[in-house]
Amino acid sequence: MEPVYDLMTRLLSEYFGVPEEQLTPDATFERLDIDSLAQVELVTLLEDRLKVTLGEPPAGATLGEIAARIERLVAAGTVGAQPQAPADAVASAGPAR
């Protein structure tokens, strides 16, 4: 499997046009002018490829910090973890028609 940091920087370069020389471990989304919509798109791409639920990146976190957080999630075995709907929410929706 491709290292998370390498995957993340490749996606930022390929999908969002961020120049590779700007993609350093200490770069932040703010410094790279990556807006919140693009952050959500990046998280979705990472979740699809890594089969892990990531949530919103912490504000001001560096690319290196974000990659390390994702590596910890993968190592902890949260791969493929999806949020569960509360049982009562499913029951209250009623039968499918």
Beta-bridge partners for 79: 52
Angstrom distance (rounded) from CA 54 to CA 47: 7
pLDDT of residue 85: 42
DSSP E strands in 18-93: the ranges are none
Domain that holds residue 79: 4-92
Q: For the whole model, what pTM was predicted?
A: 0.74
Candidates 35, 30, 19; CA nearest to 62 is: 30
Backbone angles phi, psi at 45, to 5 degrees: -60, -45
* Number of domains making up the chain: 1
- Tell me if 85 is assigned to some domain: yes
CA 5 to chain centre: 11
- Tell me if 97 is assigned to some domain: no
Domain harbouring 54, CATH code: 1.10.1200.10
**Amino acid present at 57:** P
Per-residue model confidence as pLDDT tens digits over 2-55? 899 999 999 999 999 999 999 999 999 999 999 999 999 999 999 999 988 888
- Tell me if 22 is assigned to some domain: yes
